[in-house]
Every structure is written in structure tokens, then in C-alpha cells.
Amino acid sequence: MDRLQELAALVMRHAGHSGMAGTSVPALSLIRADQPTVPTPAVYEASLCLIAQGSKRVSLGEHSVVYDASRYLLVSVDLPLVGHVTEASPGKPYLCCKIDLDQGVLADLIATEGGATGAAGAEVLSVHPSDPDLVDAVCRLVKLLERPESIPALAPLIEREILYRLLTGPQGPTLRHLARPDSRLSQVSRAIAKIRGRYRDRLPTEEIAAAAGMSVSSLHEHFKAVTRMTPLEYQKQLRLQEARRLMLSEGLGAGSAGFAVGYDSPSQFSREYRRLFGVPPRQDVERLHASDAYFAA
């Protein structure tokens, strides 16, 4: 059995039903889909997504990429994407591992290794040919789920190895650029963190710009270059995504969910929700419950 087949068997064993689930390894989530899913907007955290079986398409604005068992997806900063599983069936489900990127470990690896810091124009959403060494490391990380007593000691070491493989691979320049505190990508990443931390609030653009260490005009220019939207549009997506989660996972009604994420007007919430997801809140929730389509990676 090759490593991808072994990885698929491991994910199948630990992901018993469709959806995305966290694991006892904090940085690791497992995703399964037993059928193709509808295109679904979601905010993807900075992460590696490695498919063991099946395929998926994700889009950032007009830019789309497809990844499968032969190509992994790397998201270098938190991005609002639209994704859908394109290849899956009950007999051969879509199986994927999502590993969150630890910026602190990345910075430490770069400092230890030294070398160039990377080019400013690198892609923050990209796919790359699967590396056997990377697949092997991910397989060993997932296998720790069968030896939970080893997770505290071994998971950080394997995660560090995975990040090292990424740093020395084709996406290394972008990750190095992100680690520079004075780079535009790092500044945009700080703006994103500010918005994500206070997405329910009325957040002045000047405050976001100050957190990023940029002028307001520079923030708008570079934020849109990376995310394909303005800071306000990004915040709106975060609000609507969280409202959707509250309705799906916690059973809140549309009015309560909208209020919980910062909307004062139910009609405005419903209007903006329909604009993003294509249907009114209640209809969207019913559709997702019926299709098992709601998961990110």
C-alpha cells in the first residue's frame, strides 16, 4: 500500500461521516464528503489541504484552482473562498487533511535556516504537485490519532517537519515573505487578524489600517490585491459565515443569528445573506442540511 492509499484509509477510519471535524491533534482537521457538494462560500484559514481521495475546486474572485490527490492546496493567509467537492461518491468518498499553519513555527524555521526572504508577488492561493516526503509526514501525523498518548510529544515535531517541507518547496517564497513583519503580505495578514477578532463591531477603517501599520489608502490597495475585496466586504463575509454556522450548528433562527453577528436590521441581514449565498437564510440552511455540503476544506 502506498502512502496516499494509507492516508486515505486513515482518514476514512477517523472521519466517520460527511463534514469537517477537528481531531485530538489541534492543528489537524479531517474532511469527508460522500457526494459532490454545491459551491459554498467560506473563509479558509491559512492552511495546507492535502487530499487523499477525490477532488475539489476553490475560487478567489475570478481565480480558480483544482486540487486532488496529485496536487495539494496551500492557503497562505485567511481568505474568503468559494469551494465545492467535484469528485466523491459513497463508495469512494472525498477525503482530505487540513493542517493549520503556525506562523510562529514558520518564523522560527526561517530564522534557523536563514536565506532569502521571498518575493512580494507570490500567490497566496496556490496548488502544487504532491511531494512524497510531505505526504509521508502528513500520514504520520494522522496516524498519531491511533496513539493519542504520543500526540503531545510527537505532533509538534511532525508539524514542524511539514512546515519545513512547505518552506523548501515551490510556495516557500510566499511563506518567507509572509514572515517578514514589514512586508505588505504580513501587514495585510495583521489587518485580517484585526477584522477577524472584532468582526461583530463597527470597526473604523483607520483602526484596521493602524493595526496593519499602513495608511488607509495603502490598506485598501493591498488588502484588495490579496483578498479580492475591501476590508468592509471581508468583515461582511465573516459576519455572514458566522451567522450561517450559528443557524446550522446551534439551531438559531435568522433574526437571532443576524443580531448575534452585529446586524441591527433583520431585513438588511436577509438581503446581504441572499446576495452572498444565493438564497434566503432559511432556504440555505435547509439545502445544506439536505446535501451535507457545509464544510470548508
Q: Name the grid cell of 295.
A: 464544510
What is the identity of the amino acid at 228?
Answer: R
Specify the pLDDT at position 94. 97
Q: How many helices (H) and strands (E) does the chain have?
A: 12, 10
* pLDDT value at 113 more than 80: no
pLDDT mean over 191-210? 95
* pLDDT value at 13 more than 90: yes
* pLDDT value at 231 more than 80: yes
Identify which of 206, 208, 189, 188 has the alpha carbon closest to the alpha carbon of residue 198. Answer: 208
What pairs with residue 31 in β-bridges?
20, 96
Specify the pLDDT at position 99. 97
Specify the pLDDT at position 122. 59
Cell 455540503 found at: 293
pLDDT mean over 99-126? 77
Q: Are 187 and 222 in contact (CB under 8 A)?
A: yes
pLDDT tens readout for residues 118-167: 555 558 899 999 999 999 999 999 999 999 999 999 999 999 999 999 99
Round to whole Å and give the CA distance between 140 and 161: 11
Specify the pLDDT at position 217. 95
Identify which of 201, 204, 200, 228 has the alpha carbon closest to the alpha carbon of residue 216. Answer: 204
Round to whole Å and give the CA distance between 259 and 253: 10
